[in-house]
Amino acid sequence: EPEVTQTPSHQVTQMGQEVILRCVPISNHLYFYWYRQILGQKVEFLVSFYNNEISEKSEIFDDQFSVERPDGSNFTLKIRSTKLEDSAMYFCASTSQGQGLTPLHFGNGTRLTVT
Amino acid sequence: AQSVTQLGSHVSVSEGALVLLRCNYSSSVPPYLFWYVQYPNQGLQLLLKYTSAATLVKGINGFEAEFKKSETSFHLTKPSAHMSDAAEYFCAVSDNNQGGKLIFGQGTELSVKP
């Protein structure tokens, strides 16, 4: 069964550094998402992306965050200047249809540790 | 705004016992509801979904959930727990007008005792 793949599985960075989290969604999917899960807390929506543009973003997704689909397969999340509170598990997800008709398929996540 | 509340952050059952994980939702439109499971160090795996068809939904690994509009609930059950069911379970609601964005509950950690 096709999977969403995320790299790296674990990223350690120093405060103030830029990080790029990478995702390869399922190939025929059109809607892409990033979520994060701070340790011990709920999974939170960050951003959704469709047709090469952001369709919705949460309050968390401030100017430090950006997403990009640089080619036909990758979907990246960039954090420009990381803060300690950005430490979390970041999940990429994709689906073939919006409007909740088809479930989101999640990757295994990237654990980001900011020191 | 939509929201999901999961009662009980931690549930412990004995192997072979009934599993009941509670989820209540708030939505101004007919919701799509989902249960996801997260095993340690893994991503979120879909267990089952409700998208306005049958109110009793069967999922993988013997789990099922019943949509009760009058109670705004979507509780997850399994008749007989197995050790391999130990994981974190998340209930989620999707606003079908918001491009499939999911709103997750706080999660319930299920422990299974031998």
Residue A100 has pLDDT above 90, yes or no: no
Nearest in space to B76 (alpha carbons), one of B58, B61, B88, B64: B64
Q: What is the pLDDT of residue A71?
A: 87
Q: What is the pLDDT of residue B2?
A: 82
B/e letters for B74-103, b = 16+ CB within 10 Å, e = fewer, are bbbebeebeeebbbbbbbbbbbbebbbbbb
Q: What is the pLDDT of residue A99?
A: 64
Q: What is the pLDDT of residue A36?
A: 96
Cβ neighbours of A97 in B, within 8 Å: 100
Rounded to whole angstroms, the Cα distance separating A9 from B55 reads: 38
Calculate mean pLDDT across residues A37-58: 91
Check CB contact under 8 Å for A106 and B95.
no
Q: What is the pLDDT of residue A64?
A: 96
Cβ neighbours of A109 in B, within 8 Å: 42-43
Closest-CA residue of chain A to B104: A43
DSSP labels, B40-57: TT--EEEEEEESSS-SEE
Cβ neighbours of B103 in A, within 8 Å: 45
Calculate mean pLDDT across residues A54-61: 93
Q: What value does the mean pLDDT of chain B take?
A: 90
How do residues B33-61 score in pLDDT, each as one tens digit?
999 999 987 889 999 998 877 889 999 99
B30: DSSP letter: P
Residue A59 has pLDDT above 90, yes or no: yes
Q: What is the pLDDT of residue A102?
A: 76
DSSP labels, B65-104: EEEEGGGTEEEEEESS--GGG-EEEEEEEE-TTTTT-EEE
Rounded to whole angstroms, the Cα distance separating A24 from A76 reads: 9
Check CB contact under 8 Å for A44 and B36.
no
Q: How far is B18 from chain A (nearest CA, A)?
A: 25
Higher-pLDDT residue of A14 and B101 is A14
Calculate mean pLDDT across residues B9-31: 92
Check CB contact under 8 Å for A56 and B99.
yes
Residue B64 has pLDDT above 90, yes or no: yes
Q: What is the pLDDT of residue B1?
A: 74
Q: Does residue B99 contact residue A99 with C-beta atoms inside 8 Å?
A: yes
